Amino acid sequence: MSRNLNILQAISEAMDQKMEQDGRVVLLGEDIGTNGGVFRATDGLLEKFGEDRVFDTPLAESGIVGSAIGLALGGMIPVAEIQFLAFMYPALEQVLSHAARMRFRTRGEYSLPMVIRTPYGAGIRGPELHGESVEAFFVHTPGLKVVVPSTPYDAKGLLVSAIEDPDPVIFLEPTRTYRAFREEVPEALYRVPIGKAKVVQEGRDVSIFAWGSMLQLAISTARQLQVERGYSCEIVDLRSLAPLDRDTIVASVQKTGRALIVQEAHKTAGMASELISLLNDEALVYLKAPIKRVSGFDVPVPFFSVEDDFMPTQARVKQGIVDTMLF
């Protein structure tokens, strides 16, 4: 049996079902209990599971992550919520110096099963530090896994896999598409494997790589160009940024010979740069045109009045595909 859920509902259901299944799963974060979280992802879970498993914390992100590390070392499986990705900055010392290094530091004696959930990305007209897309910080850090669901189905399945993973997982939730659309989501518990990309649409002419809220932009642009110019675009949703599904990425470009990467993040040293490097290493002789990227700009995410000027648009993605095809 399945239901028509949005991404936020799918995330909530994943936590609910894992808490029912495994008594070690606990939730902590700012306003996640009584208020149900800033976006209501944990709404109703305090009433269902009680205050011993759903903790409201002080406004102290370093304390939230530090407490999660201690809980994980003590045998629990904490799922910490950071209200917005940029709020993670005060906790980076805990994330990078301790969570990511525990398995290495203890020579494999201790793993750290914990999840840090956080909304990320712009497009919601938020104030400063509410629209960051700095996933590369975490992808760059050995010892962390980083996943980004783009659909309700993947949101539930990836979060279940993240909670069951023996190592720390950064679970990035695209804020812009939390409630943007719905799809059928199985009621039963299921898993989407970490480290596996998904070919959303088969194509012949150009491969488009996207993740998070950029996936819907890639899909809509590809459909428009199919009608206008007859381009056959293959769309790949990365889903997992660390580990990266190198085989699926390379195989797609070996088939199409062209690649465009759409990322919301700043242009310099982002995931797009890493993908270009990967494809130059492993698919260079298949390329018919230089690899293009469409991204945010190398400036702080601006205030809401000019937010749209910062983010990739359909016009920019469309131009990138056309440039690649006409090279």
Query: How many alpha carbons fall within 13 Å on the CB side of residue 206?
Result: 32
What pLDDT shows up at residue 303?
A: 85
User: Residue with structure tokens 């039963």?
Assistant: 188
What pLDDT shows up at residue 270?
A: 95
- For the segment 287-312, what is each residue's pLDDT rounded down to a tens digit? 999 999 999 999 999 888 888 899 99
Q: Which residue has the higher pLDDT, 154 or 308?
A: 154
* pLDDT band at residue 280 under the 50/70/90 scheme: very high
What pLDDT shows up at residue 124?
A: 83
What pLDDT shows up at residue 120?
A: 96
- As a whole number of angstroms, the distance between CA 249 and CA 221 comes to 20
Q: Comparing C-alpha atoms, which of 20, 46, 18 is closest to residue 32?
A: 46
* pLDDT band at residue 8 under the 50/70/90 scheme: very high
**In the beta sheet, which residues pair with residue 295?**
none
- For the segment 70-121, what is each residue's pLDDT rounded down to a tens digit? 999 999 999 999 999 999 999 999 999 999 999 999 999 999 999 999 999 9
Number of CB atoms found within 10 A of residue 193's CB:
11
Number of CB atoms found within 10 A of residue 295's CB:
23
Percentage of the chain exceeding pLDDT 70: 100
What pLDDT shows up at residue 306?
A: 87
User: Model's pTM, two decimal places?
Assistant: 0.97
Answer yes or no: is pLDDT of 127 > 90.
Answer: no
Q: Are strands 169-174 and 145-147 parallel, antiparallel or unpaired?
A: parallel
- As a whole number of angstroms, the distance between CA 75 and CA 244 comes to 28
Answer yes or no: is pLDDT of 126 > 90.
Answer: no
- As a whole number of angstroms, the distance between CA 106 and CA 240 comes to 26
Answer yes or no: is pLDDT of 125 > 90.
Answer: no
Does 266 participate in catalysis according to the annotation?
A: no
Answer yes or no: is pLDDT of 30 > 90.
Answer: yes
Percentage of the chain exceeding pLDDT 90: 94
User: From the CA atom positions of the chain, what is the Rg in Å?
Assistant: 20
Average pLDDT over every residue of 35-39: 94
Three-class DSSP labels, the chain = CEEEECHHHHHHHHHHHHHHHCCCEEEEECCCCCCCCCCCCCCCHHHHHCCCCEEECCCCHHHHHHHHHHHHHCCCEEEEECCCHHHHHHHHHHHHHHHCCHHHHCCCCCCCCCEEEEEECCCCCCCCCCCCCCHHHHHCCCCCEEECCCCHHHHHHHHHHHHHCCCCEEEEEEHHHCCCCCEEEECCCCCCCCCCCEEEECCCCEEEEECCCHHHHHHHHHHHHHHHHCCCEEEEECCEEECCCHHHHHHHHHHHCCEEEECCCCCCCCHHHHHHHHHHHHCHHHCCCCCEEECCCCCCCCCHHHHHHHCCCHHHHHHHHHHHHHC
Q: Which residue has the higher pLDDT, 307 or 318?
A: 318
* pLDDT band at residue 205 under the 50/70/90 scheme: very high
- As a whole number of angstroms, the distance between CA 162 and CA 155 comes to 10
The answer to whether the beta carbons of residues 77 and 25 sit under 8 Å apart is yes
- As a whole number of angstroms, the distance between CA 143 and CA 195 comes to 14
Number of CB atoms found within 10 A of residue 293's CB:
19
Catalytic residue among 98, 130, 140, 266: 130
Average pLDDT over every residue of 152-173: 98
Q: Kindly report the CA angle at 298 between 292 and 301, in degrees rounded to 5?
A: 115
